[in-house]
Amino acid sequence: MNPTTSTPKNELGNPLNILRTLRDEVRVRIHLAGMEARERWEKLDRDAEKLASRAEHASTNAIDELIGKLERLRDSLQAD
């Protein structure tokens, strides 16, 4: 993972901040990606929006799982 684009939990502290940052990063990269990545992004973005809208009730595990999925998508979009 590129150290300039990594967002370890201890850097941002709040998992919801990590989630927002990852969503922003993926949004930027998705413009350069193909249809498969776009479809993966759309599903993850819907999940993130649902989770964020009910964040006070969301479990830490659900947030951590979504963060992991977004990180994997972001990393798969890395420019070579």
pLDDT in tens, 42-64: 888 888 888 877 776 667 888 88
- The angle subtended at Cα 13 by Cα 9 and Cα 18, nearest 5°, is 60
Residues 6+ apart with CB under 8 A from 10: none
In the chain, what are the domain boundaries? 9-76
**Report field, pTM of the whole predicted structure over 0.75:** no
In the block, residue with structure tokens 């951590």: 64
Q: Report the pLDDT value the prediction gives residue 6, as an integer from 0 to 100.
A: 52
